[in-house]
Structure 1
């Protein structure tokens, strides 16, 4: 944490060091912003990032787990999340993603659903189908 900004970068052990100057998450005071996460499997030293699989289900579940790891590394949990933004690469994936999303949060025992937004974004790297970011307020 720097004295001038009070910001702390958050990078879980399961994540690679970002390739550019950004953080997987940033906490300032009781606010934690999780940067856009994708469905890469946990990092293995010496190996490039690997997608969880080719399907929307595999990638969505892994993406949600990657968001959860950043939340936990920053001292938060799903119940602290105020907003989730989901970016899909195909409008045909909305219904399936909603089903996966609903099942995941039911299994997590989420008390109150956060605000959410889903949009279609075609700029993800080849093979990636979904990206999710989150904003959490602790305490």
Structure 2
């Protein structure tokens, strides 16, 4: 059976930050949704949110939730998370905020330290989501 690939690009009115580069917000292939890494930008202004790592993580997760919901799923449908931190000393603070966004059982996750992120962000997160009722 052939699988279809669907590219999702959502308007800011969906609560999703505007695109700042040549990418789709998410791509669905079969029953998997690959969500582009989200930055801590306010969907209404496109600007980096004020505050530190906790505030930025909260905005990143809200942006991810908006993309996932616009595609027809929920964050708890997430299978895999990749998180990027510019300062690995923020690992515990990131974990504390991150944990509030998922029910048990938690998705698998990789967290890496990086030397820099776009727009001066402290954190970026991307996801692989299992789509409910998705084509096999």
Range into which the TM-score falls when normalised by the shorter chain: 0.7 to 0.9
Deviation at 1:17, TM superposition (A): 4.0
TM-score by length of 2: 0.83
Structure 1 residues 126 and 137: CA distance shift in structure 2, 3 A:
closer
Tell whether 2:97 aligns with 1:97.
no
8 Å CA contact 2:48, 2:119 repeated in 1 = no
In structure 1, distance between residues paired with 2:17 and 2:53: 22
Q: Secondary structure at the match of 1:104?
A: coil
Correspondence 1:134 to 2:135: no
RMSD: 1.9
Q: Structure 2 regions of 5+ residues with no counterpart?
A: none
Query: How many correspondences in the alignment?
Result: 128
* Counterpart position of 1:123: 116
The CA distance in 1 between the partners of 2:37 and 2:64, in whole Å, is 8
User: Is 2:49–2:59's contact at 8 Å kept on the other side of the alignment?
Assistant: yes
Match of 2:107 in 1: 114
Counterpart Cα distance in 1 of 2:96 and 2:77: 22
Tell me how far apart the structure 2 counterparts of residues 114 and 92 of structure 1 sit (CA, whole Å): 23
TM-score (structure 1 length as normaliser): 0.82
Q: Is the 8 Å Cα contact of residues 10 and 74 (structure 1) preserved in structure 2?
A: no
